[in-house]
Amino acid sequence: MSHSFITIPSSIHIYQGVETDYLNSVEIADYLQAIIKQAVVDIRPDIHCFYSASYDNKEKGAILDATAFEMAKIKIRDINKKNCLPEPMQAEIDYEKRNLLKSTAKTFGIIYEGFSLQQLYLNLIDEGEKDIKHLHLVFTNQLFATWDPGNIRYHARVSIYGFPSIISTSGIVVAPAKPRDFYLKRQLGQDPNLLKEEYKGSFIDYGDPRMTDVLKGYVAQALFYHLVGYPFCEDKNCRLFNAHRQNELLQAQLFSNYEFCPKHKAVLEQLKDN
């Protein structure tokens, strides 16, 4: 497979909005650098902290207020109602402010509307870096979801690719379905902590040492989206497979005998010639 149009970024920016216990961004950066030698890969702090750092205190305060308000506004209140995003209460805005001021160890659990969150991050990015020469990869531990018109409800997502691409470490745990029996037993009232012990290994958990390895596949998907406009592959053993279940995720990212299927491997080979 040969692509006539490949958009190769000259810079890849990784925003480390997640505790280092959860994600080794140096390893992620090295992984990307090995794939795409033409680009300069850098690691930055959390996206809000990074872009507001250059402003004076007054402007920083204004950015914080505006971002906190928007974050509170895009909280999904009912997964069965599309665009149910009413005006937030002050306590919700205050919570977002406190959360934004933490560079990595943010409290999580709230689910945000995914495309609105992506737009919010885009608004933070400096104008000089808003072009296709730059690939922005935002790592967050916040959860986001997108509306599924087929199921008429929101679904939690691991990632949304675009400008910027956003990847959630909590999404890795929550979004792909765990084994069916896990949910059945939980509905019967079994302690989630005991269930986790019982099903240990069969899904990615918070603080899982395999998280960084798994995320390599997701940054590869983000890269492919930037390169050729489509992030996924139908091959269940390719890192670009769009896993909906934890067992699929583990197979594609950890257990497969190869990283990329032949056709996507060819695209990466083509990169070397550019």
Partner 1 sequence: MEKKVVFSKVSEKDVTRAIVSEFTQQFSEYVESDVIIVGGGPSGLMAGRELAGKGLKVLIIERNNYLGGGFWIGGYLMNKITVRAPAQEILSELQIPYKEFMEGLYVADGPHACSKLIAAACDAGIKIANMTIFEDLVLREENRVAGVVVNWTPVGALPREITCVDPVALETKIVIDSTGHDACVVRKLEERGLIKTAGYGAMWVEQSEDLVVEHTSEAHPGLIVIGMAVSTTFALPRMGPTFGAMLLSGKRGAEIALEKLK
Strand, helix or coil at 62?
A: helix
Which residue lies nearer to partner 1 by CB, 187 or 257?
A: 187
Closer residue to partner 1, CB minimum distance, 189 or 201: 189
CA 27 to chain centre: 16
Q: Which is nearer to partner 1, 50 or 112 (CB)?
A: 112
3-class secondary structure, 61:
helix
> Which one of 84-92, 132-140, 215-223, 245-253 is the stretch in contact with partner 1 (CB under 8 A)?
84-92
Q: Select from 50-58, 75-83, 115-123, 234-242 the region that touches partner 1 (CB under 8 A).
A: 75-83
Question: In this structure, are strands 159-160 and 165-168 parallel, antiparallel, or unpaired?
Answer: antiparallel
Q: How far is CA 30 from the centre of its chain?
A: 18
Please say whether the beta carbons of 49 and 102 come within 8 A: no
**What is the rounded CA–CA span in Å between residue 48 and residue 38?**
27
By the rule CB under 8 A, 76 interacts with partner 1: yes
User: Does residue number 89 form part of the binding site for partner 1 (CB under 8 A)?
Assistant: yes
Please report whether residue 98 would count as binding partner 1 according to CB under 8 A: yes
Residue that has been written with the tokens 């296709």 in this structure = 132
- The only residue of 156, 172, 219, 238 in contact with partner 1, by rule CB under 8 A: 156
Q: Does 109 bind partner 1 (CB under 8 A)?
A: yes
The two counts, helices (H) then strands (E), for the chain are 11, 8
The CA distance from 33 to 163, in Å, is 20
- Residue 110 is a binding residue for partner 1 (CB under 8 A): yes
Interaction between residue 139 and partner 1 (CB under 8 A): no
Site string for partner 1, 166-185 (x = CB under 8 A): --------x-----------
Rounded Cα–Cα distance for residues 149 and 151 (Å): 6
Q: State in angstroms the smallest separation of the CB of 273 from partner 1.
A: 46
Phi, psi of 207 (to 5 degrees): 70, 15
Q: Which of 61, 192, 229, 262 binds partner 1 (CB under 8 A)?
A: 192
How far, in Å, CA of 259 to CA of 4, rounded? 23
Select 110 or 124, whichever has its Cβ closest to partner 1: 110
CB proximity list for 107: less than 8 A, separation 6 or greater = 95, 99
Does residue 203 touch partner 1 according to CB under 8 A? no
Interface residues toward partner 1, by CB under 8 A: 75-79, 84, 86-87, 89-92, 94-95, 98, 107-111, 143, 145, 154, 156, 174, 188-189, 191-193, 197, 206
